[in-house]
A = this chain, B = another copy of it.
Amino acid sequence: MTERTQLFPKVGALLHGGDYNPEQWLDRPDILKEDIRLMKKAHINTVTLGVFSWAVYEPQEDEFHFDWLEQIMDRLYENGIYTVLATPTGARPAWLDEKYPDAMRVNRDGVRNRHGLRHNHCMSSENFRRRVEIIDRKLAKRFGKHPGLILWHISNELGGECYCPACQERFRNYLRAKFDNDIEKLNHAWWTTFWSHRFTSFDQIEPPFSNGEGSIGGLNLEWRRFNSWNMTDYMKFEINILKELTPDIPVTTNFMKMYGMLDYRQMAKELDVISWDSYPRFQNDYESLWDTFAENAFDHALMRSLTGGKPFMLMESAPGLVNWHPFNKLKRPGIHSLAGIQAVSCGSDTVQYFQWRKGRGSFEQYHGAVVDHLGRDDTRIFQEVTQMGEELEKLREVAGTNVEAKAALLFDWDNRWAIFDMAGLSKEKKQYEQTCLLQYKSFQKLGIEMDIVSMCDDLSRYPVVVAPMLYLLKPGAAENLRNYVRGGGQLIATYLTGYVDENTLCWLGGFPGDSLTELFGLYSEEIDTLYPSDRNRAVFADGAEFEIRDFAEILKVQDAEVLASYGEDFYAGTPVVTRRKEGQGTAWYVGARISQEGMEKIYRICLKEAGIAGRPMPEGVECRVRKAGEETYVFYLNETEQAVSISGEKGTELLTGRTVTDQITLKPLGAAVIRRSI
């Protein structure tokens, strides 16, 4: 029985709101007043302020203007609307870049940015950090005790990298620390004798500039790690200032899906609340609506897993459309509500938007907003947002409940970076992220909730763990997996498992390395890369056959049961799927990129063995569960254009208040949330 975790006890509800930029309308008090009226009409209870307000707070160095913000926060609070307050460091005033050019990043070509765009800053710049500390302190002192304040929002969508001299020097210091100031340790770890790349001093090391050293896997990986470390260090710098002055106000920063340049798992450790920005391409021309929702659910699951199980926040989503997709299609009626309820079903306690009101000009003047240039409250979008607000109020009791997963998928940024950078196989076909997503979708089809965790996490609470393409083994990872299996876990690994150590040095003596050959009872002698039109087949003992594309390992099985063999090519008849019992559990190995239908067959066998029953839904329907204490809330989302009926449910449907005794019928694009009474 898990307990509720109320993210914002002061609010005591699911949050509904979004980014609000009143500083753009200070000359239009009529509009600011209308905003309050419209927010109340739309059931908004929270807004995010100050994300890009630095130039208004501090138009000249050391000249500060906060009165306008205080008036806004006061008025909002008077009207029952809470504030998430951002530090304004997501964009810098022009005067700052003019006076402190080192605040601007240097790119991979070695060229310093000019002032502009959302102009992300250099994380190492001392001048920048000094100005940040001043403005953050001012903000925290002035607003830290404001009754409407419920959360600090650090900067905005942190990302990118910087190659400036200061970052380079920090990189070298980071390496000195990592390699005990011993250049020969680094030379060995990076195998620099190859191509005569040996360094004789840490001073010789540069980041992987576009016209510099790009061929050392260890260097490339360490640069990614350093960049993530340096961004986290910068974020902690901001957090520390706020925590000193307002220790009781939680902090977050807004993440971006599986963003490639930062290890969110490291950053998450420094945050009180996880939040993220979700912009799916609904009803596109390349996949079903269910697929798009499933990818979104995967992203939600990644965020949920970063919290260690607590609720998280959907910080940004688009009312209507965005302006930066290749085709900015309108969200069809119903999608808005369905996506909002999906967020809650996945563990979010908020549905928030970018943005409240469209600005008249500049880059996001066409980004969806609750209030359009038109300014009316009878628009379709405004009405759908209002409906969402009403629905969130009906779901109020869900706030603080938790999602339990019976399976976990291993996803680590180190592994991702190493796979991306490895020179081999086929650059265009590696598709690590997509492969992870596909496994998640298969589990969703099988009716099993999945978390997204690290190879070094405690896995014991998951009956089944899937480890796609576990190429890089971090220290302790192999041991962790072995213990997991011995303790009764079902571990399903695939081709490309255990090729390299944390420095991208290949394991000697057989893949999967670090002694995992023993766990799986086999080694991979070769890995074949197929041309796009090449195919092989996995043939199971029961005659079932599944297509193989892209990658196929030639396995030498020493001590494992063979479940399927190759059907084609010179390795026809050799094993492709195996399992081996170890302790209380089983280690499964899938040596090739088998079609998802084939993977699902394997998962079914494995789930059955683990004694786990999934609850598959009709095609196009998504089902999730949140729990706390005695209460169980079941969410049904119909992601098709037809009505769908589901039976076996009992309880109260919260959106309508109706009692359910067995069957519920979901309207096209409709949702139901049942407080279960079974």
Contact = CB atoms under 8 A, between A and B. Distances in A.
Contact of A533 (B203, B285, B379, B380): B285
Q: Which of A60, A212, A324, A333 has the most CB of B within 10 A?
A: A212
Interface string A418-429: 000011111111
Interface in A80-108: 88, 90-95, 98, 107
A94 B526 contact: no
Contacts of A59: 198, 200
A359 to B, nearest CB: 5
A290 interface: no
A161 B569 CA distance: 43
A243 interface: no
A91 B195 contact: yes
Contact of A194 (B200, B321, B364, B500): B364
B507 A373 contact: yes
Q: Which of A23, A191, A423, A533 has the most CB of B within 10 A?
A: A423
Contact of A215 (B94, B213, B363): B363
Contacts of A508: 360, 373-375
A24 B197 CA distance: 11
Contact of A198 (B88, B93, B500): B93
B529 A363 contact: no
Kindly report how many copies of this chain are found in the complex they form together.
Answer: 3
Contact of A212 (B27, B113, B365, B427): B113
Interface secondary structure of A, over-half rule: loop
A569 to B, nearest CB: 8
Nearest to A533: B285
Contacts of A189: 361
Contacts of A321: 529
22 contacts: A23-B193, A56-B196, A88-B196, A92-B196, A93-B198, A109-B111, A110-B111, A117-B212, A192-B362, A215-B363, A216-B361, A285-B532, A323-B424, A327-B531, A329-B530, A330-B529, A360-B505, A364-B423, A365-B504, A373-B509, A380-B525, A380-B554
Interface of A: 21, 23-24, 27, 52-56, 59-60, 88, 90-95, 98, 107, 109-118, 188-200, 203-204, 206, 208-209, 211-218, 284-285, 320-321, 323-324, 326-330, 332-333, 358-366, 372-375, 379-381, 422-429, 500, 503-511, 523, 525-534, 554, 569-570
Given A54-B196, A328-B426, 4 more contacts: A24-B191, A116-B206, A191-B361, A360-B506
